[in-house]
Amino acid sequence: MSESFLTLKNLTKEFQVGTFFSKVKILAIQDVTLELERKPTVFTLVGESGSGKTTLANFLLRVLKPTEGSITFLGKNIESYKKFEFMKLVQPIFQNPYETFNPLKKVETYFCSVIKKLRITSENGHSFEKVIEKALSSVALTWEEVKDKYPNEFSGGQLQRLSIARALMVNPMLLVADEPVSMLDASLRVFVLNLFRKLKEEKQLYIIYITHDLATAYYISDYIGVMLRGSLVEVGPAEKVLLNPLHPYTVLLKESVPNPDEIKKKQEVRIKEERILEIEEFLEQGCKFALRCPYVQEICKKEMPQDVIVEGVAVKCWLYSKKKKEGFDM
Ligand SMILES: Nc1ncnc2c1ncn2[C@@H]1O[C@H](COP(=O)(O)OP(=O)(O)OP(=O)(O)O)[C@@H](O)[C@H]1O
Ligand SMILES: [Mg+2]
């Protein structure tokens, strides 16, 4: 058996949400367990807004600590890595390339600071420029195009490619990309997604790609994990999960494939009713989809289902569980 690459064990995160006067505790992540194998992969986390995708990504980047549970990376607890050692293994790609770069600093300063901070030594005594050039070439940019320029001289797509190049300078094993294309124009999204696919193969990378958008998920993913109010409710090979979804929530996501531009607007102005439903669902004792599920049974409201494996896909739904009510008609 190959060595486990990344193991998430019983991860839980508690947050207090609500107004100053009425606060409630929610489990933004609830008992997430996942084992990922060491091979070039795009693993996509999909789910509605507020399902816990970013919280999970922040655990992987050590930006947040889980309330309970542990993460093992290459056989070691991630907390036991030294800061720079960890940065050389795991790199983030953020959603908004415009925020990644300070408008007052030349873009190259970001590359130079990585070289200095992480003491990247150039192969065969090449200059810093050569090291940067190499990173840029993986994202189809050249030093000539970048030298002496400020962020406002680049398009959003180019800036995102620059932030990918910067992440690649340290030859990481894992990229965690949280909505990396949602701020880009449609024409640039495909370019950047193709780049992820290419880099996965060429650099033998493991990429955790986070998105709302099932169409892009289908396009680049090897595996999919579907998140619902803090839980992974369906995990399996991308084709199986997206072409033949088992969980009624995955079916709903697939049927209401949202347009990424609508999502962008929605994220800016979260609708109040949606936020209320979100918190109600977080507080559900059983399956978090019980309030909206067309197949809801009594047991769904009372008890959280455990994973059931159906033809290589892990699904948490009473429809597939042995404990499902006798005579229930699917
Ligand atoms: N620092 C925090 N303090 C309190 N609540 C938080 C905090 N961070 C996240 N949450 C809550 O945890 C839940 C999950 O949030 P998270 O940002 O992980 O979701 P998401 O799936 O990334 O959503 P989106 O698609 O909108 O980015 C939400 O209800 C959110 O309001
Ligand atoms: Mg998020």
The pLDDT value given to residue 136: 93
Is residue 229 a contact partner of residue 15, using CB atoms and an 8 Å limit? Answer: no
Q: 151 CA distance to ligand 2 centroid (A)?
A: 24
CB 314 within 8 A of CB 235: yes
Hey, whose CA ends up nearest to atom 27 of ligand 1? Answer: 49
pLDDT in tens, the chain (330 residues): 456 899 999 999 999 987 777 889 999 999 999 999 999 999 999 999 999 999 999 999 999 999 999 999 999 999 999 999 999 999 999 888 888 889 999 999 998 888 888 777 655 556 778 888 888 999 999 999 999 999 999 998 899 999 999 999 889 999 999 999 988 888 888 888 999 999 999 999 999 999 988 888 988 999 999 999 999 999 999 999 999 999 999 999 998 866 656 655 555 556 677 888 888 999 999 999 999 999 999 999 999 999 999 999 999 999 998 655 444 443
Ligand 1 atom with the shortest distance to the CA of 227: 21
The closest-lying atom of ligand 1 relative to the alpha carbon of residue 55 is: 18
Element (H, E) at 315: strand 313-315
What pLDDT, on a 0 to 100 scale, did the predictor assign at position 188? Answer: 83
Alpha carbon distances (Å) from 9 to 32, 66, 207, 234: 6, 10, 19, 16
The residue type of 30 is Q
Res 322: pLDDT: 67
Residues with CB under 6 A from ligand 1: 15, 17, 28, 47, 49-55, 212, 267, 278
Look at residue 16 in the predicted model and tell me its pLDDT.
92
Cα 17 to ligand 1 centroid, rounded to whole Å: 10
Between the CA of 51 and the centroid of ligand 2 the distance, in Å, is 8
DSSP calls for 168-205: HTT--SEEEEESTTTTS-HHHHHHHHHHHHHHHHHTT-
What local confidence, expressed as pLDDT, does residue 227 receive?
97
**Fold of domain 4-99+169-315:** Rossmann fold (3.40.50)
250 Cβ neighbours under 8 A, 6+ residues apart: 226, 233, 234, 241
For residue 29, the ligand closest to its alpha carbon is: 1
What pLDDT was estimated at residue 123?
A: 56
Cα–ligand 1 centroid distance for 175 (angstroms): 20
Q: In whole angstroms, how large is the CA radius of gyration of the chain?
A: 21
The H helix count followed by the E strand count for the chain is 14, 12
The ligand placed nearest to the CA atom of residue 267 is: 1
Give the pLDDT score at 175.
97
**Domain coordinates of the chain in residue numbers?**
4-99+169-315
What is the pTM (predicted TM-score) of this model?
Answer: 0.90
